[in-house]
Amino acid sequence: MREVLRIEDLTVYYYTLRGVVRAVERVYLEAGRGELVAIVGESGCGKSTLGYSILKLVPPPGRILSGRVEVDSVDILELEGDKLRHARGELVSMIFQDPFTTLDPVRRVEEQIAEVLLEHGISKEEAIDRVYDLLRSVGLSERLARMYPHQLSGGQRQRVSIAAAIALEPRVLVADEPTTALDVVVQKQIMDLLDSIRREKGMAVILITHDIVLAAERADKIAIMYAGKIVEEGPIDEVLKEPRHPYTKALLASVIDIESREWPQAITGQPPDLRKPPPGCRFAPRCRYVFDKCRREEPELVEVDHGRRIACWLEERRL
């Protein structure tokens, strides 16, 4: 299957006054039609920066140093000006964590969705029809079209954001913690909605989350990120059944499992300061299986099985 999204060798640094933050380093990632790829990691591991990079929207002082982000064979990072503006919305778009602040409080729902269509060259008459179609397709009643965001619930607002994001049927939708601010019931509804949309429209969804359980339930593929790098990646079933990177194991062990009656295991220590990451493997200081090579040399992400990639020196020992 031809991939819809292909990220190659992406590196993003933040040039702050207190040093260079190496937020994303040498990341490779692919997503196919209708696939949901979860990027999982703790706060500050660079997963949101990765998400913004897909739209070439890294906030200053961040800079994309190298890499390609191909959507349908178009390199987003090469685009400039009006072409880039059109790519956002038409090829890739994004939804955010907090539905309470992502809608303009002084504009009606219909205006916010119609604006996207109008600014991408769709006629007024068509835009009006499409707004109602979109509202229906995200499970909202047409009655809400005339309302202002403050009149809606959190779930409804997130649905409106999704309607605006999918208005132009982009090939890739980046969902940055889309359900974190919502309660579990609404969370399930929103995830169901994203599932049906991606299946129906063949849209690849990049789900950025810190919740490995959510990823486990929904994703086709999972990429575990730690300190700016992807440490393990593969089909969700295989990764969950047989996690091979120590960090993935630790993450899975930190989840409460009611059936096993075991206490979740916390990961000791803190993630490294990305201004001066440790030499060698970035996870080495917190790793239970660490040996001297880990502290000297940085492991590359290598394919160990079909579609399964891991960056860990332990893999070398297995051979």
Partner 1 sequence: MIAVYSRKLLGRVGRVSRIVLEGVPPTGRKLVYVGLAIVLVIVFMAIAAPIIAPHSPTAPSGRPLEPPSREHPFGTDRLGRDVFSRIVYGSRTVLWVVAVAVIISSSIGIPMGLISGYYGGVVDRVLSMIMDAVYAFPSLVLAIALAAALGPRPENAAVAIAVVYIPTYFRMVRGQVLQLRETPFLEAARVLGIPSTRIMRRHLLPHLLPTIMVVFSLSAADAVLTEAALSFLGLAVRPPTPDWGFDLYSAKGFARSAPLLIAIPGFMITVLALGLALIGEGLSERVRRTR
Cα separation, 82 vs 263, whole angstroms: 53
Binding to partner 1 in span 156-215, by CB under 8 A: 161, 164-165, 167
Burial class (CB in 10 A: 0-12, 13-18, 19+), 211: middle
CA distance 93 to 91: 7
Give me the least distance between CB of 109 and partner 1, in Å please.
13
Q: Residues 276, 281, 282, 283: is their CA dihedral positive or negative?
A: negative
Token readout for 56 is 């070439």
Binding residue for partner 1 (CB under 8 A) from 24, 87, 172, 204?
87
Out of 4, 77, 103, 230, point to the residue binding partner 1 (CB under 8 A).
103
Residue nearer to partner 1 on the CB measure, 105 or 318:
105
Q: Return the residue of 71, 94, 203, 223 that touches partner 1, per CB under 8 A.
A: 94
Q: Tell me the per-residue interface mask from 118 to 157 with partner 1, x by CB under 8 A, - otherwise.
A: -xx-------------------------------------
Angle between helices 154-165 and 109-119 (to 10 degrees): 10
Determine if 26 is a binding residue for partner 1 (CB under 8 A).
no
Piece of the chain touching partner 1 by CB under 8 A; list 96-104, 188-196, 202-210, 281-289: 96-104
CA–CA distance, 59 with 124 (Å, rounded to integer): 32
Q: Rule CB under 8 A: choose which of 1, 17, 80, 106 binds partner 1.
A: 106
Stretch binding partner 1 (CB under 8 A), from 87-95, 183-191, 211-219, 228-236: 87-95
Nearer of residues 93 and 248 to partner 1, judged by Cβ: 93
How many residues sit in the footprint of partner 1 (CB under 8 A)? 29
Sign (positive/negative) of CA torsion 153, 159, 164, 167?
A: negative
**108 scored as a contact of partner 1 (CB under 8 A):** no
Q: Per CB under 8 A, does 104 bind partner 1?
A: yes
Cβ–Cβ under 8 Å, residues 283 and 225: no
Stretch that binds partner 1, among 81-89, 191-199, 269-277, 296-304 (CB under 8 A): 81-89
Do residues 191 and 218 lie in contact, with contact meaning Cβ atoms separated by under 8 Å?
Answer: yes
Beta bridge partners of 88: 92
In angstroms, what is the minimal distance from the CB of 148 to partner 1? 12
- Residues lying near partner 1 in the complex (CB under 8 A): 55, 57, 60, 85-90, 93-96, 98, 101-107, 115-116, 119-120, 161, 164-165, 167
